[in-house]
A and B are shown apart, each in its own frame.
Chain A
Amino acid sequence: MLKYLLKRILFFVPTIWIISLLTFSLSVNSPGDPVDIMLNTAGESGQNADKQAKQKEYDAMREKLHLNLPVFYFDISSLAEPDTLYKIPKKLHRENLDRLVSMYGNWPLVSAYYHQIEGTEKKVDQISAPDSLKDELIKARLLISELYYKYDEVVLREKHKKISEALHKINPSFDYDHSLLVSYDDMVLHLATWKNYLPSFHWNGYQNQYHIWLTNLFKGDFGTSYYHKRSVLDLISERIMPTIVYSFLSIIIAFLVSIPLGVSAAVTRGTKKEKVITILLFILYSLPSFWIGTLLINYFTNPIFFDWFPSTGLKDFDDQAGFFERLSNYVDHMVLPLFCYTYSSFAFISRQMRGSMIQTLNQDYIRTAWAKGLSERKIYWKHALRNSLLPLITLMSSVFPSLIAGSVVIEYLFTLPGMGLLAYESEVSKDYPVIYIIMLFSAALTLIGYLVADILYAIVDPRISYGKK
């Protein structure tokens, strides 16, 4: 038993580790520069005066988010790609450089070109122009800043031409554009694309983003939300209560309703009544919950039809409300969402219950019980029920993930401030850290559900042996 448990937990570790890798690789590949998003500077192009201050702020935030480190323990890249690319601060610059390397393969020259852009930008920032030519200067600066994000040769040549034109209008003796052009030609002419086809392996050590991300997870630091600018852990712990309460209540209700339903269906199997109930349950099972939810909101919270229930939220009482007022208010808000949560599991669980009950009723010991002259009630509800409850343990563990997924829809429909709504909101506002942590979280919860189910099974059913078959 203990050996089985240990083995089971040991298997749990690689699974969750792979999921963490998956989550991390998604978060690394999410669009946008995290630093810019955190600083709210995405899309801004700074003016001269505060450019340096901005750069400092940027670097500080980058360090804080550990983005100045390599991504993973090791890199498998091409020979052309430098292993120090992560040191380039701006993510978009980095991506563009990576693209240029993949096109030309010659990192030293690509890097020289990049520095040339930087140098030109700095020089052009310092020059001043008479009022009549201010527009030209602004145009030139804009064009130069665009060079960082372009890789297509035709586009780049066009831009270079325009930059020289603008600069020469200001002062014909400027030759910053010349060195830029030379370094660009250098890069384009000295092709080393073969380097892209040779793999290279590079070990980065423990100081990498993944390592820090993982150790932070263990420390309880789940990162910061892009949108709320708050710790993800805080957000989740704020939002988790309603989801837990609703899920828990709906599981209880679902089992309380479905177990008797399943038992009575098994007992009265073959009769017309049972067939009708089965068909009804089947229909319930196929009804999409988001449709039922929409219909319920439309017809039962609408003054035109029946204004019986509040449509959104958890509660709407004021502070002076008494206990019973509060309670009834909570219950009022719960009726429709709980119905949406539970109705589809009625059919699912009671079907399983019916199946396992029928199996039990065919057992010898039930026949013995009949022969002993036990009452019908005792046989069904005491002897048979207990043994047919076992498969429900497995069911419980599979209800769990579907509840998490269901909570997204139902909390969205009824605007319940829970985890599901948080997932939806972060999806819409592209709040990547929150989405990925919720994904990791729900995966961990599901795995724990399976683990608990297996352990419960082992405890409850001594027939199951977990040794080597």
Chain B
Amino acid sequence: MSENKFSYRKHVWQQFKKNKPALFAFRFISVMAVIALCASILANEKPLYCKYKGDTYFPAFREYAVDMGIVKWPKELLNISWKTEEYESVVWAPVPYGSTEFDYMNDRYKSPMDEQDVKSTRWHHWLGTDEQGRDVLSGVIHGTQTAFVVGIVSVGITLLIGIFLGAVAGYYGDHDLQISRVRFWINFIFLPMAFFYGFQVRSYSISDAFAESAYSGFVQIFLSFLVFLLVMFILNVLIWPLKKISFLGTKVAFPIDLIINRIIEVVVSVPGLILIMAVVAVIAKPSVFVVMILIGLMGWTGIARFVRAEMLRVKKMEFMEAAKAFGYSDFRSIVKHALPNCMTPVFIAAAFGIAGAILTESTLSFLGIGVAPEDVTWGSLLNAGRSNQNAHWLILTPGIAIFIVVTFFNLIGEGLTDALDPRQKK
């Protein structure tokens, strides 16, 4: 039996392979993902390998570890200017420039074709420089990294929220979430209290963390959310005995579907770009990290709708009735049985979502909204090209990069549509 076993994954992959443009896009995007992953090795002002004062270092590789906070720079490497040091032996990165490194010898928009003030062709700026002498090729490579991180993080958030809310709304509808009267009212009344312990008591930890960095700020918000859930949980445990009283214990339907649909309507009704602009205006230190989280928080409505619609369909199927008959918990029914059958539109929406997130982020950084000076994105490179009409190399390459990534993710989305959902194909 096992030899001829029909594998859904294999089948989808075979279907996907039939779509030539999508397959090409998939391969190309894989290559770009590798570039994004290796950005600091491909383009770096620090050498890949060097022998310096008798010791051997791998500074470009070490940078990854430092960025992740695993190790720190050794003292002797902390304040050295990499380019001017004397090394016993050294191997430079393929593009020997950092994305935020200023090459003062070649500033003020050096074209790739111009005569450049460099030691040899090895140090040529192959895609030119911008006003401050930053290497455009290095910027494009590091921008690839930013774009992929933006796409993955924001779509990840989108998926988490969208799948959860969509599944809950679709599975329970307005009538199937039965909770006892006392639980309904107690939860309703004490929601502000949980909010108080989660967010108000911790408000200064949150704002201090945000002042430090956006990352630790979001960590604190997440912790607050956990506190919030904990308080709600404790409350629900405490009121359990009250359910024994018949009046309080009567089950009432909680209109979860209605509520989630209202939330979706609110989020959908404000144009994403404007909402992000409004929120970014309040944040003291905006950065690409903040922007990608905001994009994720705003983009989940589509996925929630898809999952909800699929859930409504799947819920009526026989295997779900079987699951109920077996006495499986709601959680198990949803996660193990219903959700896997709802994922088709989610994959498709995720592919399109990555394209959309990258586009939104590059639009914002093109407008100069929500980018910190140290962030290098395709949009900010393009914006730098706007101030000099003759610096076409600053406009063309980042633009082509954005175009390729967006088109190819869209193509992958199309290919997935054909492969996963043949009904759509007419």
Give residues in A with beta carbon < 8 Å to B. Answer: 11, 14-15, 18-19, 22-23, 26, 29-31, 76-78, 99, 102, 196-197, 199, 201, 279, 282-283, 285-288, 290-291, 294-295, 297-298, 302, 304, 355, 358-359, 401-402, 404-405, 408-409, 412, 423-424, 427-428, 430, 432, 435-436, 438-439, 442-443, 446-447, 450
Contact = CB atoms under 8 A, between A and B. Distances in A.
A199 B193 contact: yes
A201 B407 CA distance: 53
Given A442-B271, A443-B271, 19 more contacts: A14-B262, A26-B279, A76-B195, A78-B200, A290-B367, A291-B399, A294-B395, A294-B399, A298-B392, A304-B390, A401-B268, A408-B367, A424-B367, A427-B277, A430-B281, A432-B282, A439-B274, A439-B277, A450-B269
Contact of B271 (A22, A102, A291, A402): A402
B402 A439 contact: no
A102 B382 contact: no
Contact of A408 (B265, B274, B392): B274
B402 A291 contact: yes
Chain A, interface SS category: helix
Contacts of A427: 277, 280-281, 367, 369
A11 to B, nearest CB: 8
B266 A435 contact: no
A422 to B, nearest CB: 11
B389 A298 contact: yes
B403 interface: yes
A288 B402 contact: yes
A11 B263 CA distance: 12
Nearest to B355: A286
Chain B: interface secondary structure?
helix
A286 B406 contact: yes
Interface string B275-311: 1011111101000000000000000000000000000
B100 to A, nearest CB: 22
A199 B200 CA distance: 9
A306 to B, nearest CB: 13
Contacts of B132: none
A132 B81 CA distance: 48
25 contacts: A15-B262, A15-B265, A15-B269, A18-B262, A18-B266, A19-B269, A26-B279, A29-B282, A30-B281, A76-B192, A286-B355, A286-B403, A287-B403, A288-B406, A290-B379, A291-B395, A291-B399, A294-B382, A304-B390, A401-B268, A408-B274, A423-B274, A427-B280, A427-B367, A439-B270
Interface string B183-213: 0000000001101110011011000000000
Nearest to B273: A405
Given A291-B402, A423-B277, A26 B196 contact: no
Closest 9 CB pairs of A and B: A286-B407, A291-B399, A405-B273, A401-B271, A405-B271, A443-B270, A199-B196, A439-B278, A286-B406
A332 B167 CA distance: 51
Interface string B108-119: 000000000000
A443 B195 CA distance: 27
B386 interface: yes
Contacts, number: 143
B273 A19 contact: no
A447 B264 CA distance: 12
Contact of B426 (A304, A358, A404, A409): A358
Interface stretch (B72-80, B336-344, B358-366): B358-366
Contacts of A302: 389
B255 interface: no
Contact of A446 (B271, B355, B367): B271
A355 B366 CA distance: 34
A79 to B, nearest CB: 11
Given A294-B395, A427-B281, A443 B269 contact: yes
Contacts of A282: 407, 410-411, 414
Nearest to B395: A294
Contact of A196 (B201, B278, B363): B201
Contacts of B195: 76
A446 B270 CA distance: 7
Contacts of A409: 363, 366-367
Contact of B359 (A11, A30, A288): A288
B426 A102 contact: no
Nearest to A12: B265
A201 B203 CA distance: 17
Interface string B30-53: 000000000000000000000000
Contacts of B390: 304
Contact of A288 (B203, B266, B403, B411): B403
Interface in B228-270: 262, 265-266, 268-270
A435 B281 CA distance: 9
Contacts of B363: 288, 290, 409
Interface string B133-150: 000000000000000000
A406 to B, nearest CB: 8
Contacts of B278: 23, 26, 435-436, 439
B156 interface: no
A305 to B, nearest CB: 9
Given A443-B269, A450-B269, A435 B277 contact: yes
A15 B406 contact: no
A469 to B, nearest CB: 12
